[in-house]
Amino acid sequence: MLRLPKWFFKWNEENPNDLMGPAILVGTVTTAAAAAALIVALDNPYKTTDFQTGPRGIGMAVSKFVKDDPQNDPYAAEYPVFERVEVAEGTPTAAEAYGDVIAFGDMDQANFDQLTKAMSAWTGTEISLVNSEEADQTKLAITKNCIEATQYLNDDWDTHNLASDGRGVNCYTCHRGQPTPPGSWLKAGAVNSAAEGWAAIQNRLLTFEGAHTATDFVHKYTQSEYSSLPVDGVEKFLLDGNSIKVSDLESRVDQQPGDPVWQDAERTFNLMNHQANALDVGCVYCHNTRAFYDATQVTPQWSITTLAQQMSIDINQTFYEPRSEILGEESAKVNCMTCHMGVVSPLNGKDMVAEWPELASGQ
C-alpha cells in the first residue's frame, strides 16, 4: 500500500476545493515510480557504453548506445559457409580433371568444385575457374585478378588483415554476396566541361548503396559524407597516394577557396569523415583532440589506420586500377568502407580463410 506523507493530508485539509493538485502529484509520483521500476526490470534502453581510445582524464573515449549494437556487422549472419570435402586417395587434381584452370590447379577436383561454388555464393555471380573455348575471357581475367588480390592481401598485408591470426579476407569480405562490392567506389570525375576544377568535386552528393539481402538493412554512404567537402579525397589519398596532412595553420583570409593547400586540407577532412563512418568511430579513436596535428599524441589506432591507408594505396594501384584495362571501363576500387562496412572488425572478426587456406597461401 502506498503511504502518503503527513504534509499531503495537511495540504488537503487547507485546500479542500483543489482536486486537481493532489491528483497531478499522485499521478506524477506513481508514473515516476512505475518508470523507475521498468528501467530496473527491463534495463535502461538508453544505456551507453564507452570505448577507451587514449589516456584517461582527457575525454579520449567513444560513447555508443548499447541498444544500437554499434559494432555488430549484420552481414556476418549471412555468410555462406562451404566446408571442405573429404576425398579418397587418388582423386584427380583440378588440372588433371579440367585441363587449363586459372587458379588452384593443384587442388583435388572435389574441393576445387566446392571452392568454385563458395566463390559464386560470396560474389553473387556464377564463377568459373576453368579456361575453355566457350569461357568468357574477360570474366576469367577479372576472377584471376580477384584471386591474386585476395592472396596478396592475406600474405603481404597480413599485419593488417591478420590471416595468420584467424581472420583474413576472402571474396565475401568485400562483395557481401553482390557482384559489385557495396562498399566500393569510383572516381568522381567532372560534372561537365565548364566545371573542370575545384567546383567539379565539391558540393556534390556522390552516393554508393548496397542492399542487405536477408533484412531491410541498406548500407548507404557518400564520398563527401553529406558535407560540402570535396568528393575526391579518397581518390587523391587512397589511389594517387598524395600526402595526408593538414600542416599549414596560416589564416585563409587572403586566399581564395581554390588555393591548393586549402584544397588538400579539405580533402583530408573528407578522408577523416570517411574513415570515421567506415568504422563507426569518432575523431578520438585515433587522435588527441587537443593536438590533431601532433603525431606524438595519437592513439595506437592511428598507426593501424596509417598502415591501412598504405595498404589501400598499394592494392588499388597494383590490382584495381590496372583492372580497368581488362574491363574497358573504370574498375571499382577499395577504401576503408569496402571491408569494414561500419564496424571496427569486419564480419565480427570471422575467420575468412580457415576452410580455404589456398586464399591465404597463394598456392
pLDDT digit string, tens, across residues 267-292: 898 899 899 989 988 888 898 877 88
Highest mean pLDDT among 54-68, 223-237, 278-292: 278-292
Output 30 or 255, whichever has higher pLDDT: 30
Architecture in CATH for domain 177-340: Orthogonal Bundle (1.10)
Q: Which 3 state secondary structure label does DSSP give 130?
A: strand
Mean pLDDT (the chain, rounded): 82
pLDDT, residue 337, reads 92
The average pLDDT across 195-202 equals 65
Q: What is the pLDDT of residue 293?
A: 76
- Domain ranges within the chain, ordered by starting residue: 81-176, 177-340
pLDDT at 297: 85
The residues, any chain, with a CB within 8 Å of residue 146's CB and separated by 6 or more, are: 171
Which DSSP state fits 142? H
Of 26-35, 288-297, 329-338, least confident by mean pLDDT is 26-35
* Residue 41 pLDDT: 58
- For residues 119 and 267, give the distance between their C-alpha atoms in angstroms, rounded to a whole number: 36
Contact 335, 185 (CB under 8 A): yes
Closest CA to 176 of 304, 320, 352: 352
d(CA 350, CA 165) in angstroms, rounded, equals 11
What is the C-alpha separation between 37 and 155, in angstroms, rounded? 55
Q: Is the pLDDT of residue 250 over 90?
A: no
d(CA 34, CA 53): 37
Residue 199 has pLDDT above 70, yes or no: no
Q: To which H or E segment does residue 64 belong?
A: strand 61-65
Q: In the predicted model, what is the mean pLDDT of residues 198-227?
A: 58
Q: What is the pLDDT, as a whole number, of residue 28?
A: 73
Work out the pLDDT band at 95, boundaries 50, 70, 90. Answer: very high
Q: Are 220 and 207 in contact (CB under 8 A)?
A: yes
CA angle 142, 157, 182 (to 5 degrees): 50
Cβ neighbors of 252 (< 8 A, separation 6 or more) are 259, 262
Q: Report the C-alpha gap between 122 and 217 in whole angstroms.
A: 18
Task: State in Å, rounded, how far the first CA of the chain is from the last one.
Answer: 76
Q: What is the largest CA-CA distance in the chain?
A: 102
Q: How far apart are CA 189 and CA 288, in angstroms?
A: 34
**pLDDT at residue 212 tops 50:** no
| Euclidean distance between CA atoms 339 and 169, whole angstroms | 9
Of residues 15 and 322, the one with the higher pLDDT is 322
Cα–Cα–Cα angle for 278, 283, 287, rounded to 5 degrees: 120
How high is the pLDDT of residue 222?
Answer: 63
In tens, the pLDDT along 176-195 reads: 999 999 999 888 776 655 55
Name the grid cell of 192.
Answer: 561537365
- Mean pLDDT, range 43-65, rounded to an integer: 70
Per-residue model confidence (pLDDT) at position 345: 93
Picking from 208, 330, 332, the residue whose alpha carbon sits closest to that of residue 278 is: 208
Nearest residue to 115 (alpha-carbon basis) of 136, 94, 89: 94
Rounded to 5°, the CA angle 64-70-72 comes to 155
pLDDT at residue number 14: 72
pLDDT of 126-175, one tens digit each? 999 999 989 999 999 999 999 999 999 999 999 999 998 889 999 999 99
